[in-house]
Structure 1
């Protein structure tokens, strides 16, 4: 039989210990490499450009000159012009209301007037003949005056049953239909001139001190998403609304504006512009701090900011134009950590 060498347990144990130590050493080296390796970051450099400080407002496009036509009495509409979009002159009848009851009242007053005049004339003759007293005649004359005043008032009220154009212009909108009840205060017609047009915007009270007439305004409209629309601050209402805490601002639109009456818009009023400003993307900042890379080490810097936009922010001090800024802001990165810059 072939001879087999016997392996003693005392000889195997040192080999196992050596193998285990080698494995642990390799794992420790891998862990050291993994956790000690520099963190990869992307960097950008500041840019030079124009920084604009803006005040946001929302508003509606309206004609500069226009008026609302409402009824002063509650009555049924019996006739409308159906002239929406048409031009009208001042005084043109736009709608008529049912005036039958008011006309009946006027007819009754005129009959009463005739009786009062006849009685006055009869008493006048009797006074001339000394048949009756002057007091009776004075009462008759007062009755005539009273009825005449009632007739004048009723005649004036009858004018309210015809709705007329308050001025020359275009019927911008008609909300009156035959058979409907005209309620006092409800607008039935909008009459005005389609040009020039303005935006009536609302500005928060904390922003209004920065708004002045003549400032440039950038307009955004969902109806024209690819168009660069502009306006100019025209005027500011002196008294604000204490409930909404806003002030009304009128923005003058150019004559060739594509914006239509009634459209809602967003307005950015440019209150200040800084040329050749040092600008960084807003996403590199956390408040007033950012990270830069110096000699492959991340350094936290506190900067002084100026105009803050939604996308870019002006840097006044704290970094120079050549700084390598980590982008986006590295949440969780320690000041002084080793980093490696990724090529972009």
Structure 2
């Protein structure tokens, strides 16, 4: 009798445990769908520069003997900015000029002799050719002297000077930056996958390390027709307002706004179940949907402690929220991290969590 009672007790406890484990509805965490701003944008990085500027370097290799301007000084087109050591070139030009004068004097003597029938006509022709060649050589030597002078190709302000007397500089070097400090622009690079979505007039939100937390904007002004085949990117010019605090040479991050929805329906990322990637997808395969397009996903909605599976269209995916473009209304309760085996129409027990 005792054994029978013990066996019944064990069966009763086991039944209760099984009922507690398998008979109760699953416990799920929920959060309410909210309304907020959904911002779809294309990310780019760029550098602040003047709209009108020129980088100026030497025409030949040489040692700097004079630097004639300072940073912040206004210069005019053609004004000398620096001089290179031209002693050898000047000696060569002086010698060439002397040869040209000698050839000219020799031509004059030859003409006199030919006029008196003392020299042949062929001698005059040779003297004329020699005089022309000597003059051309002297003119070229004098012209080369100007290569030893670094001149401003345009009028403007000396924005930067990287030239010191005594330095040996070569043609790739940039000794001066000359331009106008206003207006400014940002030259940014946009990935070739996103460039088709960029158009002039779009607003760009800017962030710079020099001004943390400060909201700054720009506007797409120009897109270069040809992209960089190595970087696989296109150059985009962003026009800055005149009152921008940004300075020339600063690096900025830009988000070019494609779409703004101030009253979008937003849910936590844990509420969205994305479809699995194709099995044959490789790391280099293109995405299933182009960037910025709507994608289908699954969410679980709870109403009166009953779970309902829905197919929705999602838009912007941010780290803390995902936009639901169709299939859900603000204020509805969604399941966070839906448990495996959850069935459509099944009862659930609720566990509320604060929406991030």
Shorter chain as normaliser: what TM range? Answer: 0.7 to 0.9
From the superposition, tell whether residues 36 and 63 of structure 1 become closer, same or farther in structure 2 (CA, over 3 Å): farther
Aligned equivalents of 1:17, 1:78: Cα separation in 2: 113
**Normalised by the size of structure 2, how large is the TM-score?**
0.84
Deviation at residue 190 of structure 1 after TM alignment:
1.2
SS of structure 2 residue aligned to 1:136? helix
Aligned equivalents of 1:81, 1:330: Cα separation in 2: 73
Does the aligned pair in 1 maintain the 2:185–2:239 contact within 8 Å? Answer: yes
Aligned equivalents of 2:145, 2:23: Cα separation in 1: 94
Aligned equivalents of 1:313, 1:331: Cα separation in 2: 20
Aligned equivalents of 2:209, 2:307: Cα separation in 1: 43
2:305 aligns with: 296
**Normalised by the size of structure 1, how large is the TM-score?**
0.87
Q: How many residues align?
A: 330
Kindly report the root-mean-square deviation, in angstroms, between the aligned alpha carbons of the 2 structures.
Answer: 2.3
SS of structure 1 residue aligned to 2:266? strand
Aligned equivalents of 1:28, 1:224: Cα separation in 2: 66
SS of structure 1 residue aligned to 2:45? strand
Of 311, 335, 340, which aligns to 2:343? 335
* 1:319 and 2:319 aligned: no
Q: Which has the larger radius of gyration?
A: 1
1:262 aligns with: 249
User: What stretches of structure 1 of length at least 5 have no aligned partner?
Assistant: 1-13
From the superposition, tell whether residues 51 and 177 of structure 1 become closer, same or farther in structure 2 (CA, over 3 Å): same
Deviation at residue 177 of structure 1 after TM alignment:
2.4
Aligned equivalents of 1:38, 1:20: Cα separation in 2: 29
1:209 aligns with: 196
Does the aligned pair in 2 maintain the 1:66–1:191 contact within 8 Å? Answer: yes
Aligned equivalents of 1:175, 1:283: Cα separation in 2: 54
* 1:150 and 2:137 aligned: yes
Deviation at residue 271 of structure 1 after TM alignment:
2.0
Aligned equivalents of 2:41, 2:99: Cα separation in 1: 70
2:272 aligns with: 285
SS of structure 2 residue aligned to 1:342? strand
Deviation at residue 120 of structure 1 after TM alignment:
0.7
Does the aligned pair in 2 maintain the 1:48–1:277 contact within 8 Å? Answer: yes
Does the aligned pair in 1 maintain the 2:265–2:328 contact within 8 Å? Answer: no
1:165 aligns with: 152
Deviation at residue 37 of structure 1 after TM alignment:
4.1
Aligned equivalents of 2:92, 2:7: Cα separation in 1: 117
Does the aligned pair in 1 maintain the 2:265–2:330 contact within 8 Å? Answer: yes
Does the aligned pair in 1 maintain the 2:34–2:331 contact within 8 Å? Answer: no
Aligned equivalents of 1:285, 1:244: Cα separation in 2: 34
